[in-house]
């Protein structure tokens, strides 16, 4: 876990947080795999949805760096990786300009996506409103006067946007219809994405408490936050089991090969005693979620 940044280029790479991008793509891939399985896959939807999601994730990361610097979560007491603004190499104004850039990019690709994918203005306006809500959520997690991340509501938004909205929305853009069983996989991705956020918040529990950031681990304590993590892993994999039983198609159970890895990650978090020991499991959980999605998709369509 790096605690110093030597150059501006390195500072921007830290601000973008490349290790979070695989997680952002997982819900897009899952919705696209389900669309291919149902015979409704469209390449332009996959490509534009992926671009839009990456831009939104980067916007969220930049806004998080900006907001935590203003509100004090990125103080000298923070034990996680050093942030870009905290390092002094990137000013608040530069970070704000970068946020405007990626907000504009996500809006542009999002509009093109729904324009090409949707057949009428009612659908277009509905998804346009959803896109604006996603941009708002990305910015307001730790930014603004009353950031919802500081009230402990980040888990709800991550579950919603990285799970329910990400998977079902992508599927709808492909197929122009909604099917109830899609929600099972959306729930799984929502649980795994929330688990990534929970690891982040367990790592930062001490500095968040000092800054008044009432994340779930701050509210319930580290022991209960770890139990919460185990529950997310259990519920997420149960969604897969229910999906295959409901649809009588068992090859998607290939995704369960990641379960031992997820258990190992959970045990590692449970045994960790410092932020430095906890930090590597954040990247591992994000990567295991993407691999879970790829194995699920491979089993579903091959």
Cα gap 61→235, rounded to integer Å: 27
Amino acid 88: pLDDT: 63
Mean per-residue pLDDT over the chain, rounded: 89
Cα distances (angstroms) measured from residue 173 to each of 75, 132, 170: 42, 17, 5
Q: Can you read off the two tokens belonging to residue 59?
A: 């916007």
Q: Delimit the domains of the chain by residue range.
A: 8-301
More confident residue, 299 or 23: 299
pLDDT for 105 beyond 90: yes
Q: What is the pLDDT of residues 34-68, one digit of tens each?
A: 999 999 999 999 999 999 999 999 998 888 877 77
pLDDT for 74 beyond 70: no
- Mean pLDDT across 21-44: 95
Q: What is the pLDDT of residues 120-160, one digit of tens each?
A: 999 999 999 999 999 999 888 877 677 888 888 999 999 99
Q: Can you read off the two tokens belonging to residue 76?
A: 């000298």
* Topology of domain 8-301, CATH: Farnesyl Diphosphate Synthase (1.10.600)
Q: What is the pLDDT of residues 152-164, one digit of tens each?
A: 899 999 999 999 9
Q: What ranges in the chain are assigned the alpha helix state H?
A: 8-16, 21-37, 43-71, 84-87, 92-117, 121-140, 154-158, 166-175, 182-203, 205-211, 216-220, 222-247, 259-271, 275-278, 280-301
Cα gap 158→140, rounded to integer Å: 13
Q: What is the pLDDT of residues 165-188, one digit of tens each?
A: 999 999 999 999 999 999 999 999
Amino acid 78: pLDDT: 45
More confident residue, 3 or 256: 256
Closest C-alpha to 257, from 297, 218, 288: 288
pTM of the model: 0.90
Q: What is the pLDDT of residues 220-277, one digit of tens each?
A: 999 999 999 999 999 999 999 999 999 999 999 999 999 999 999 999 999 999 999 9
């Amino acid at each position: 876990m790096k605690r110093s940044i030597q150059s501006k280029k390195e500072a921007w790479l830290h601000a973008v947080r490349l290790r979070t991008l695989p997680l952002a793509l997982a819900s897009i891939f899952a919705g696209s795999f389900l669309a291919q399985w149902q015979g409704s896959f469209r390449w332009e939807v996959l490509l534009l949805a992926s671009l839009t999601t990456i831009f939104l994730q980067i916007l969220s990361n930049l806004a998080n760096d900006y907001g935590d610097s203003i509100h004090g979560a990125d103080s000298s007491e923070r034990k996680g990786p050093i942030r870009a603004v905290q390092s002094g190499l990137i000013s608040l104004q530069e970070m704000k300009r970068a946020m405007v850039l990626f907000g504009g990019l996500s809006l542009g690709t999002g509009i093109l996506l729904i324009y090409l994918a949707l057949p009428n203005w009612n659908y277009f306006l509905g998804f346009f409103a959803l896109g604006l809500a996603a941009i708002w959520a990305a910015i307001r997690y730790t930014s603004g006067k009353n950031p919802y991340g500081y009230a402990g509501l980040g888990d709800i938004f991550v579950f919603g946007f990285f799970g329910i909205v990400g998977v079902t929305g992508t599927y709808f853009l492909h197929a122009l219809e909604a099917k109830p069983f899609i929600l099972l996989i959306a729930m799984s991705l929502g649980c795994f994405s929330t688990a990534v956020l929970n690891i982040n918040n367990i790592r930062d529990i001490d500095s968040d408490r000092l800054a008044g950031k009432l994340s779930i681990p701050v509210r319930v304590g580290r022991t209960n936050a770890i139990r919460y993590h185990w529950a997310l892993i259990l519920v997420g994999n149960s969604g897969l089991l229910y999906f295959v039983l409901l649809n009588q198609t068992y090859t998607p159970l290939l995704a369960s090969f990641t379960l031992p890895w997820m258990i190992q990650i959970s045990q590692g978090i449970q045994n960790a005693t410092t932020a430095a020991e906890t930090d590597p499991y954040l990247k591992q959980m994000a990567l295991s979620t993407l691999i879970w999605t790829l194995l699920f998709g491979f089993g579903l369509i091959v």
